[in-house]
Structure 1
Amino acid sequence: MATVVLQPAFARRYTAGVTRLEVTALTYQALVDELDERYPGFADAVNIPIAIAIDGEIHNEPLLQTIEPSSEVFFLPPLEGG
C-alpha cells in the first residue's frame, strides 16, 4: 500500500492529527476519494491549487499522476502568509 504523508498543521486540521496514512489507491483521484471517505472534508481541503510529491518528485498537476503500491506521497499545500 502507498503511504501518504501530511504536514502536521494540515493533518491536525483535516485528519485528526494523523500524519502518515496507508492507502490502496493507484491514482491521485482515487487517493483523495479514499481519504475523503475516512476523513470527510479531505477532498474539499485539497480542492485548491496543491502540489504533491510522489517518491521525491514534485508534481504541480496531481490529477495526471499515478501512484505505485510502494509510493510515498507528500501533500504540499500552499504556504500561508501572516
Structure 2
Amino acid sequence: MSVSVRIPTILRTYTGGESEVSVEGGTLAEVIDSLDASYSGIKGRILDEAGQIRRFVNVYVGNDDVRFLDNLDTATPDGTQISVIPAVAGG
C-alpha cells in the first residue's frame, strides 16, 4: 500500500528537504518502519524509546488523530495521506 507522508520542517533534514514522501505500509507502524528504511533516523524522532508515538508529536491518518484510532495499528489504505505534526508550545 503506497501512502504519502507529510514531513514537518523540523524533520526535513532526514528527507533531503522533501516536504512529502511516498512509502509503503498497511498500518501506521509499517509506514514508519518503511519511512525509516528510506530516511534513516526519522523513526527515532517520531517514536520514543518504548516504541510509542512521542508525547509531543501528533500523527494524523487522513484527518483523524491516530491517538483516537488504533495508534500504530491504524490502517493506512492505499493513497492515504499521513501527516506528522510536532506540537508547538509557548505562550
For Structure 1 versus Structure 2, the TM-score category normalised by the shorter chain is 0.7 to 0.9
Provide the residue aligned with 2:26 in structure 1: 26
- How far 1:77 moved relative to its partner? 1.9
Tell me the CA shift for residue 21 of structure 1: 0.8
Distance 1:39 1:52, change over 3 A: same
SS at match of 2:12: helix
After TM superposition, the runs of 4+ consecutive aligned structure 1 residues lying more than 6 A away are: none
Taking a change above 3 Å as real, the CA distance of residues 36 and 80 of structure 1, as seen in their structure-2 partners, is farther
Counterpart in the other structure of 1:17: 17
Identity across the alignment (%): 19
**CA distance in structure 2 between the partners assigned to 1:62 and 1:77 by the alignment:** 16
Count of residues in correspondence between the two structures:
81
What's the TM-score, normalizing by structure 1? 0.81
Is there any run of 5+ residues in structure 2 with no aligned partner, and where? Answer: 48-53
**Higher helix fraction: Structure 1 or Structure 2?**
1
Q: Which moved more, 1:52-61 or 1:35-44?
A: 52-61
CA RMSD of aligned residues (A): 1.9
